[in-house]
Amino acid sequence: MLAKISEFIFGGTRGFNEAETRLLSFLMDSLPAQEREILSHQLLSVRKVQRQNPGQIVVVYYKSGNEVPRLPYPGYEHCLANITYKSGERAKTTSLVLHNGRFMTFERNVPQRLSDIETLNSVVLHPKGFKSVAQEIDAQEHREPFV
């Protein structure tokens, strides 16, 4: 009951919507088996999904006290994958970002409905190598040039 009141006051849902689930399935199909298993455990431990800026960022929260396994990519913001899909005759890319080895955010062009995803174009794992993407994403969100 307390969780429902918290969700009402602070927003969010208990799970992913159909479009977010579809992006996650594209990612899972592209990961090596061991990483797919770790990510699967993480997703089962999700307590709340909050859409702070619909279409731009979706944040995942985990159950309190629940230590989930971590992917072997440390760092505050590591782009695990860029998923490019066709939506309304345009290619759009969503970044799936880890925070300290745990899946935490969908960023940029986050589809809100399953119908927003017509076809999968590509899944690129670790598109920026193994460095943080925080500054680049922040600059894009605030429409500032990235240096």
Look at the pTM and tell me if it is higher than 0.85. Answer: no
> What is the residue-wise DSSP string for 21-79?
HHHHHHHHHHS-HHHHHHHHHHHHTEEEEEEEETTTEEEEEEPTT------S--SS-EE
Distance CA 147, CA 58 (A): 25
**What is the structure's pLDDT at 111?**
97
**What is the structure's pLDDT at 144?**
65
For residue range 31-89, list pLDDT tens digits in order. Answer: 999 999 999 999 999 999 999 888 999 999 998 766 889 999 988 899 999 999 999 99
